[in-house]
Amino acid sequence: MALPYKIIPTTWKTIGLIVLQADETIEADMRRILPDNVNVLVSRVPSGTSVSTKTLAAMTQSLTGAAQLFPAGIKFDAVAYGCTSGSAEIGRPKIAELIRKGATTAAVTEPVSALIATCRAQNITRLGMISPYIREVSQKLRDVLAANGINVTAFASFDEPLEYNVVRIDPSSVHDAAANLKGNFDAIFLSCTNLRTLDVLDKIQDKVGKPVMSSNQVLAWHLQELL
């Protein structure tokens, strides 16, 4: 004899988060930033140990499969792809297309769309940027932002090709790089979902007297706007 049971009423929002295999930061950041009534389900997409335009573009082959690994039958309020440079390289429309092939969702976002939305909401057109990556990867992101009316007017990078090392960059080094960035900009953006930034955002902002944003911060904000 089957036992009776009650159905739990759905009172929370549900988002899907597609995380790079190499990312050790974004999941914890999202759970720190997002409110308790947001349910976060995570899937992973294969990613290279080194970060280049080639390895980033290769994720197009796996994004739909990663979306298909979410629990069956869920209708997401939003799904986010957690890679800033990958979003710039693959392209925002293509990412949305690939994710929707694998998951049912009302909205799709990623850090580049989130950053553009944040800048428009705050009337930011000039960015100072700190990147962990090599020049070709950083340049693609700068080009995409410029095409959307946001110019990177000050830039510095750690030029680190290995994802394993990016997550191990000490937040104090990120703080110092951003605090010493020179140029004429409206805000500073700390690029990369794997870079540890949350604990230094306010400290940098106090130092430079301008808004300071990170990939995970703007992505969490945009998800809440979409919800």
0.85 exceeded by pTM: yes
Which two structure tokens, joined as six digits, stand for 157? 């990078």
| Rounded average pLDDT over 34-62 | 90
Tell me what pLDDT residue 12 has: 85
Give the class (CATH, top level) of 112-214.
alpha beta
Tokens of 93: 């429309």
Q: Can you spell out the DSSP letters for the chain?
A: -PPP-PPPP--SEEEEEEEETT-SSHHHHHHHHS-TTEEEEEEEE---SB--HHHHHGGGGTHHHHHHTSPTT-EESEEEEE-HHHHHHH-HHHHHHHHHHH-EES-EE-HHHHHHHHHHHTT--EEEEEE-S-HHHHHHHHHHHHHTT-EEEEEEE----BHHHHTTS-HHHHHHHHHT--S--SEEEE--TTS--GGGHHHHHHHHSS-EEEHHHHHHHHHHHH-
pLDDT higher than threshold 80 for residue 8: no
pLDDT at site 26: 97
| pLDDT tens figures, 183-215 | 999 999 999 999 999 999 999 999 999 999 999
Over the stretch 17-27, which tens digit does the pLDDT of each residue have? 999 999 999 99
| Fold of the CATH domain 13-110+219-226 | Rossmann fold (3.40.50)
Q: Where are the domains of the chain?
A: 13-110+219-226, 112-214
- Same CATH fold, 112-214 and 13-110+219-226? yes
- Compute the half-sphere exposure of residue 32: CA atoms within 13 Å on the CB side of its CA: 11
pLDDT bracket for residue 144 (50, 70, 90): very high
For the cut 90, the answer to whether the pLDDT of residue 134 exceeds it is: no
